[in-house]
Structure 1
Amino acid sequence: MGLIKHAQDMTGGAQLRQRGRDCASLCAALDDPQALVRRWAARDLADCSDPASSAGVRAALLARLPREPEAAVRAIILSTLLKLADQGVVLQLLACLRSGEPALCQEIIGVLQQLPALVAPQIPALLRDSDSALRILTVNILESLRHADVEALLLEVIARDEHLNVCAAAVDLLGEVGSAAARLPLQQLKQRFAGEPYIAFAADLALRRLEEM
């Protein structure tokens, strides 16, 4: 029975894909009530890369992303945005991180981590954002960016950020990417957050890892 249903789904998908495949039609199809239609549209929009249509395609995908309820469709939208990414796309994806939706935020972080050259210029400002949750997400982005200034950025965080969880996230990453330069700042952080057991634990763990290097 499963094989029959799969064959029916494939046939139905092929029929749905016979609709208009020009860029304007595909953008409109992103709002179709059928998830399969939206998936095919998001996938095929990756081929709409000519200058005349690319801006509209990016805008349509970015507008749909925070409203899309199906994880499978969001994955295709993000995959297409990754192929069409420019600075504007990165800025809009970073703005979506403010949604507070955990699944969407993690999906976006996965894309941003693959765009280090476009994301890196935004990192310093994000680490100073008034939203502590966004600052934590930014530290998570840093984990995979392999940016040349990762350690310096993290050291700045633990030196000035007043939020316990932001500093804790930075300390965890420093234990992986830090050098001898992180030892004194980690010790100073322990003093600044004296009485906070997790900071003491995380900083001591990071210091032990640094000693093993």
Structure 2
Amino acid sequence: MGIVKQQTVESVQQDERRRPRDREGLIASLRDPNPVARRWAARDLAGYPESASALVERLAVEEDVSVREAILLSLTEIGDQTAVSGLVQCLRSEDAHLRNEAIEAMKLLPNAVAPIMARLLTDPDPDVRIFAVNILESLRHPDVEKWLIEVISEDEYINVCATAVDLLGEVGTEAALAPLASLKARFGDEPYIAFAVDLALKRIPG
């Protein structure tokens, strides 16, 4: 039975890839009832950077996990402003899985994400600011520490600062020592901030 199932899947995949593979045909296939067709279309659209907006539009409504993964992969391969803007919109989604997937995708686009990082870190929504700090964890950008110091120096939301402190404990240098001490004094009545700052100070060579 396993062999029959495998052959059936392969036959379906081959059939779906016989459909028109030009840009218009692939975009149309993003709305196909068959998730196999949508997945192949999403994968192949990576070769059409001007299709980022169509991929973003589909991502907002796609429920099949494998199709969504293919869309995210293509968006990271395209990596233009439209793709990044679409991923940013996912950070505001009520779907926690989609938010996490978008965060992981944005971590793979340091050059494209870096120009908008300052805006994300000052977004009116504190959850978006927390997600932005989470993206910094793997962004591997030379300004990561500077951005984190700005967060703990200026952000008034304790959870945002706490998230930034945790990361500073891993990437911080001597430049972060004084801002961390100031943060601890600013939130003097918050035991967790005191604990997190003390832990970060121990980890940072000074």
Q: What's 1:147 paired with? A: 141
Q: Distance in 2 between matches of 1:149 and 1:83?
A: 23
Shift of 1:162: 1.0
Q: What's 1:186 paired with? A: 180
Q: Distance in 2 between matches of 1:17 and 1:94?
A: 31
Consecutive unaligned residues in structure 1, runs of 5 or more: 49-53
Q: What's 1:106 paired with? A: 100
1:123 aligns with 2:123: no
Percent identity between matched residues is 50
Q: What's 1:162 paired with? A: 156
Amino acid in structure 1 at the alignment position of 2:69: A
Residue number among 68, 73, 80 corresponding to 1:79 in the alignment: 73
Q: Distance in 2 between matches of 1:156 and 1:44?
A: 40
Q: What's 1:11 paired with? A: 11
Q: What's 1:20 paired with? A: 20
Shift of 1:127: 0.8
Shift of 1:150: 1.1
Shift of 1:185: 1.3
Amino acid in structure 2 at the alignment position of 1:34: N
Larger CA deviation: 192-201 vs 124-133: 192-201
Larger CA deviation: 202-211 vs 129-138: 202-211
Deviations 1:135-187 (A, max 9, x none): 00000111111221111111111111111110011001000110112112112
**What is the TM-score of this pair, normalised by structure 2?**
0.94
SS of the counterpart of 2:91? helix
Consecutive unaligned residues in structure 2, runs of 5 or more: none
Q: What's 2:55 paired with? A: 61
Q: Distance in 1 between matches of 2:121 and 2:97?
A: 21
Q: Distance in 2 between matches of 1:150 and 1:16?
A: 44
Shift of 1:20: 1.7
Contact preservation (8 Å) 2:53, 2:82: no
Shift of 1:68: 0.6
Q: What's 1:51 paired with? A: none
1:37 aligns with 2:37: yes
Q: Distance in 1 between matches of 2:112 and 2:43?
A: 23
1:136 aligns with 2:125: no
Q: How many residues align?
A: 206
Q: Distance in 2 between matches of 1:190 and 1:3?
A: 62
Q: Distance in 2 between matches of 1:64 and 1:177?
A: 36
Deviations 1:65-112 (A, max 9, x none): 111101111111111112222122212221221113221111112221
CA RMSD, 1 decimal: 1.4
Q: Distance in 2 between matches of 1:189 and 1:208?
A: 15
Q: Distance in 1 between matches of 2:79 and 2:119?
A: 20
